[in-house]
Amino acid sequence: MNANEAGDLLALINATLNATSAIALITGFVFIRRKVVDKHKRAMLTAVGASALFLVFYVARVLLTGTHEFAGEGLARITYFSILFSHMALAVLVLPFILRLLWLAQKERFEDHKKLARYVFPVWAYVSVTGLLVYLLLYQIYGYA
């Protein structure tokens, strides 16, 4: 397997991790709405784990193959970069809030956790879903140069 093949495999793994995170987040949301706290906790830790692994594998992929130039043109290019930039900016911004949510849960400060989660959950879910969209657009639909 050469570097480009390994990079493409890592990109697929990352897309799977983003999908896993998104599913775990939604599952965790459903569980906490139903007041099934132990399953909520497991789902959210799954989302954290998938997101953390994503970060490790993303850095590995970039170190291995660098960045790619999106091959789409016109409206597809505008759409792709809109999704990509919002995904990247929000991923950076949401990380300290995710860490804060974990800390609040660890300290059993559940009211504070709940208040913050109202804002963090939709952003984190958006980042997970748009990560999958970026993969589909860059690797499956339009490709890269």
Task: Report pTM.
Answer: 0.94
Please report, for residues 29, 68, 126, 128, 145, the alpha-carbon distance to residue 40 in angstroms, rounded to integers and kept in the order given. Answer: 7, 37, 19, 18, 42
**What is the 8-class DSSP label of residue 107?**
T
CATH of the domain at 68: 1.20.120.80
Return the ∠ at Cα 31 (arms to 130 and 23), rounded to 5°: 25
Q: Supply the pLDDT for residue 113.
A: 98
Q: Give the range of the structural domain holding residue 58, as residue numbers without chain letter.
A: 3-141
Torsion over CA: 41, 43, 46, 47 (sign): negative
Q: Average of pLDDT values for 90-113?
A: 98
Per-residue pLDDT reduced to its tens digit, 24-48: 999 999 999 999 999 999 999 999 9
The total domain count for the chain is 1
Mean pLDDT of the chain: 97
**Residue 141 CB: number of other CB atoms within 10 A?**
13
C-alpha span between 26 and 15 (Å, rounded):
17
Asked if pLDDT for residue 145 goes beyond 90, the answer is: no
